[in-house]
Amino acid sequence: EAGVAQSPRYKIIEKRQSVAFWCNPISGHATLYWYQQILGQGPKLLIQFQNNGVVDDSQLPKDRFSAERLKGVDSTLKIQPAKLEDSAVYLCASSLVRLMNTEAFFGQGTRLTVV
Amino acid sequence: AQKITQTQPGMFVQEKEAVTLDCTYDTSDQSYGLFWYKQPSSGEMIFLIYQGSYDEQNATEGRYSLNFQKARKSANLVISASQLGDSAMYFCAIVDSNYQLIWGAGTKLIIKP
């Protein structure tokens, strides 16, 4: 079974530029998550999708971040314009159903550096 | 609001010894789940073990076991016979009734040969 795929693995951009991250979840997984993990901290949920609908985006900085999940499968996360404090690892995860007694599977993440 | 506390920022353990990683949680939910994940330097989060709030038995998965003390709101991870490949960050997380994962700050475990 293929895992969660993310690209790119690394990205360096200047502040005020735009960047987009892509995620392909495990086939059949209805729930998809985007997390931001700042160095030395645990992940912080940015947005959660159930199929192609948004379940929770309360911690997504909507003035600069946007996300969509196309046809309930792939997802993209965009930052426009980027700030220095956006430097972090962006993790995508998916689960078969909404979490309670089933684990989430994570991709390897995209490490973003904003200079 | 749910909260996870991991009080050990870092730990050094001799290879083949057992290690206990601490995790305490705070929640007002009756139904919740607790997860432990491992994050090696490659960055991927790897699921280790799960404990449901209504599970009476402590969860075990190979060398991993969870010391679940519900009254103390404690869910410590025990790794038996540690190996060099166990060196990584370890995160405790709770899933609440809104199906959200709330994470601790993590513990960096280094296994010494």
Task: List pLDDT tens digits, range B51-80.
Answer: 999 888 999 999 999 999 999 999 999 999
pLDDT at A96: 87
| Count of Cβ atoms closer than 10 Å to residue A76 Cβ | 15
CA B81 to chain A, closest CA, distance in angstroms equals 25
Please compute, for residue B17, the number of CA atoms within 13 A of its CA located in the half-sphere on the CB side: 13
Give residues with Cβ within 8 angstroms of A18, minimum separation 6: A78, A79, A80, A81, A82
Beta strand A110-114 with A10-13: parallel, antiparallel or unpaired?
Answer: parallel
Pick from A40, A55, A103: CB nearest B47: A103
Tell me whether B28 touches chain A (CB under 8 Å): no
For residue range B8-34, what is the model confidence (pLDDT) as tens digits?
A: 999 999 999 999 999 999 998 888 899
- The beta-carbon contacts of B63-68 under 8 Å, at least 24 apart in sequence, are B64/B36, B66/B34, B66/B36, B67/B20, B68/B34
Give me the tens of pLDDT residue by residue for chain A, a chain 115 residues long: 689 999 999 999 999 999 999 999 999 999 999 999 999 899 999 999 998 899 999 999 999 999 999 888 999 999 999 999 999 999 999 998 777 667 899 999 999 999 9
Q: Report helix, strand or coil for B71.
A: helix
Residue of A nearest to B97 (CA): A100
Indicate the pLDDT class of residue B44, thresholds 50, 70 and 90.
confident
Tell me whether B89 touches chain A (CB under 8 Å): no
pLDDT at A46: 96
The C-alpha atoms of residue A35 and residue A58 are separated, in whole angstroms, by 12
Tell me whether B47 touches chain A (CB under 8 Å): yes
Helix (H) or strand (E) holding B39: strand B33-39
pLDDT at A70: 82
pLDDT at B63: 97
Count how many residues are written for chain A.
Answer: 115
pLDDT at A101: 62
* The dihedral sign for the CA sequence A80, A86, A88, A94: negative
Residue of A nearest to B6 (CA): A42
**Token pair 């705070």: residue:** B26
Residue of A nearest to B103 (CA): A42
Indicate the pLDDT class of residue B98, thresholds 50, 70 and 90.
confident
Chain A residues with CB under 8 Å of B50 CB are 101, 103
